Amino acid sequence: MSLSAQEILQKYFGYDEFRPQQEEIINEVISGNDVLVLMPTGGGKSVCFQIPALLRDGVCIVISPLISLMKDQVDALKTNGIAAAFLNSTQSFEEQQKILESCYKKEIALLYVSPERLISDISSITSMTNPSMFVIDEAHCISAWGHDFRPEYRHIGLLRQRFSHLPFIALTATADKVTRKDIIKQLHLKDPKIFVSSFDRKNLSLDVRIGIKTKQKLEEITTFIKQNNSLCGIIYCLSRTTCEEVAYELKIKGINAGYYHAGMNARERERVQENFINDDLMVVCATIAFGMGIDKSNVRWVIHYNLPKSMESYYQEIGRAGRDGLPAATILYYNYSDLTMLNRFAAQSGQADINLEKLKRIQHYAEADICRRKILLSYFSETLEKNCGNCDVCRHPRKHFDGTLLIQKALSAMARMREKEGATMVIDVLRGSLRTDLREAGYDKLKTHGIGSDLCTSDWQRYLMQMLNLGIIEMAYDENFALKSTAYGKEILFGKKKAELIVLPPLIKPAKTSLTTHARPVNYEDELLEQLKKVRRKFSLEEKVPAYIIFSDATLHEMADKKPLTTSEMLSITGVGEYKFDRYGEEFLDLIGNYMVRKKRSYR
């Protein structure tokens, strides 16, 4: 008798209940219907196709963009007792043929393959696999409107015409409404049912730090990492050079850090990624090239050293933290130089208008004086009625003041320089600088020279960013980023309107977020948890898979909290299915039993 979807969930994945929408999605796919699934990172997208793959005849072909992602998912499936494999360029012809022969013999349920490989060898692959369904992971890559467009994905639409009788399931964690429509169009999905899960990752705290100078930024990050010494995280940087510099500074301060970017050779990148996945490297300073293929569940924090280029990028990158559902921290650093650099990149891109608009939206988020989670969810067409209580704005509500005079000073300075200078010169004039090029331009003779000397440069930068965000000034990207007054700004300048600004939070306040006391239930003992981790580590080394694939941190935390002593008690732990229990369960039970005996003796 074949198992039901519910029974498969418990037997292979160790969960008693489906998450919201999972069961409905699975039923649609089993029925042979096309589906578009939007779920946040860590929301359980994989189960939506992995369970139907075990219920439909043939091989489920999963189109995945990265080799590391394929390997990670296949390792996890095998550890759960599910027959899976992947085809990629790291394998010999003989290895690939052996895998295809296993598919032909119905020994494999899921086959992961890159879009290039599938399209180039479509006849041989499909003839050997008897496809049961096609899964397009990271489906936003097919859309030019998406944040990570990949031309090779465009060929996947041809599959729909050739296999019109099979269900296609497209999955992504980040796609706005325009991108969703384009995914359906490009893949030729047939009347697909669209499922949009909540994008609210409540376990992620959201913090933004504005106008922090490089030295202080590094000090804050160092303090934060040392406060959370046993927890791993990612620092995203805009440039390769910054990745290397930040990693170097952290190493000097005794932090186990490395860097990762596209300028490294493949072997170096693979080494860094493997060390991070296996908890041998605790901090990675990386460009956005890092992380898309990582399914690591115990990333406890993500720091953006610079402003991201879009809300989609930001959401996907912070989504790599806390995939196990335990609390995780996210911190975004943002200053005027980031904005200038990203505006230049966007203005010079092939889709300047779109990318500049996307940049404005992430800028609005960074400058927010209302609950940040409301803004983030609103971008993905989701409404949060109450404040989240887990962002810096909710924890420290903003205060406002009448900023009309301050704004008029800045606008007047800009006007007297004929609105042809960027922020650096405007601020230097306001503060009364006598640098050579300022005097050569005659700006030291202006009436506005020095009228803002009561404020430091970083404060002026932050106020100018507020003025940009409020639509009082704008940046002329085609005129060397000169600042210009808008129609609204002119009304303020000439006294027709007033405007409020946000009182600047103090820059000296260090980031004191510590996760060590919050990222767990309160009832377990650290000693037992560490012993459980050692047993998990032993299995991971024996099987040459990341530790979190054996059991997630969340599963170990629940074991340490509930202390199961019988088979039934262990099977009730989230993430412990029958197959994993048969492989690992007895050793974990023995450890917990011995721990409890020792504990009893110590109380006598």
What residues have CB less than 8 Å from 186, skipping those under 6 apart? 142, 143, 153, 154, 156, 157
Nearest-angstrom CA–CA distance, 293 and 284: 14
407: which 2 tokens? 């704004």
* Distance (Å) of CA 535 to CA 72, 77, 500, 565, 588: 21, 20, 58, 16, 7
- φ, ψ of residue 34 in degrees (nearest 5): -75, 145
Please choose, from the candidates 317, 325, 20, the residue with its C-alpha nearest in 3D space to the C-alpha of residue 174.
317
The bridge status of strand 35-38 relative to strand 168-172 is parallel
**320: phi then psi, degrees, rounded to nearest 5:** -80, -5
- How far is it, in rounded angstroms, from Cα 13 to Cα 518? 26
Cα 145 from Cα 158, distance rounded (Å): 20
Give 401's strand partners: 501
Q: Please give the structure tokens belonging to residue 559.
A: 């074991």
Please, where are the H alpha helices in 191-328?
214-227, 240-252, 266-277, 311-318
CA distance 505 to 106: 62
**What are the pLDDT digits (tens) for 51-98?**
999 999 999 999 987 777 788 889 889 999 999 999 887 788 888 899
Phi, psi of 259 (to 5 degrees): -130, 160
Question: Which amino acid type is present at position 589?
Answer: L
What letter represents residue 22's amino acid?
Q
Which of 550, 548, 547, 533 is closest to 591 using CA atoms? 533
Q: How many CB atoms lie within 10 A of CB 280?
A: 11
Cβ atoms of 228 and 514 within 8 Å: the answer is yes
Give the other-Cβ count within 10 Å of 328's Cβ. Answer: 27
Greatest CA separation for the chain = 90
At 558, list the tokens: 């629940």
Q: How many CB atoms lie within 10 A of CB 149?
A: 17
| Intra-chain end-to-end CA distance of the chain, in Å | 52
Position 306, amino acid: N
Contact by Cβ (8 Å): 106, 97: no
* Residues in the chain, pLDDT under 70: 1-2, 145-149, 289-294, 477-478, 505-525, 602-604
Q: Which two tokens stand for residue 83?
A: 């027959």
| Beta pairing, strands 299-304 & 204-210 | unpaired
- CA separation for the pair 62, 118 (Å, rounded): 10
Structure tokens at 329: 């921290």
**How many Å apart are CA 288 and CA 529, to the nearest integer?**
33
Q: What pLDDT sits at residue 290?
A: 63
pTM for this predicted structure: 0.77
| Cβ neighbours for 367, distance < 8 A, ≥ 6 positions apart | 210, 465, 466, 469
Crossing angle of helices 352-366 and 457-469, in 10° steps, is 120
pLDDT at position 88, please? Answer: 81
* Domains by residue range for the chain, with CATH: 5-196 (3.40.50.300), 204-395 (3.40.50.300), 400-502 (1.10.10.10), 526-603 (1.10.150.80)
Q: Which two tokens stand for residue 244?
A: 């290397």
Q: Which string of b and e fits 561-596 if b means at least 16 CB within 10 Å?
A: bbbbeeeeebbebbbbbbbbbeebbeebbebbeebe
Contacts 24+ apart (CB under 8 A), 592-597: 592/528, 592/532, 592/559, 592/563, 592/564, 592/565, 593/565, 595/527, 595/528, 595/531, 595/563, 596/563, 596/565
Place of tokens 């203005």: 347
| DSSP β-bridge partners for residue 516 | none
What is the model's pLDDT at position 363?
A: 87
Alpha-carbon radius of gyration of the chain? 27
**Residues paired with 233 in a beta bridge:** 283, 301
Task: Check if the beta carbon of residue 263 is closer than 8 Å to that of residue 331.
Answer: no
pLDDT digits (tens, 9 = 90+) for 232-255: 999 999 989 999 999 999 999 999
Distance CA 577, CA 82 (A): 12
311: its two tokens = 């809300």
**Contact assessment for residue 51 and residue 41, using Cβ atoms and an 8 Å cutoff:** no
Within 10 A of 385 (CB to CB), how many other CB atoms are there? Answer: 5
Residue count of the chain, please give it.
604
* Distance of alpha carbon 281 from alpha carbon 265, whole angstroms: 18
Tokens of 562: 């509930």
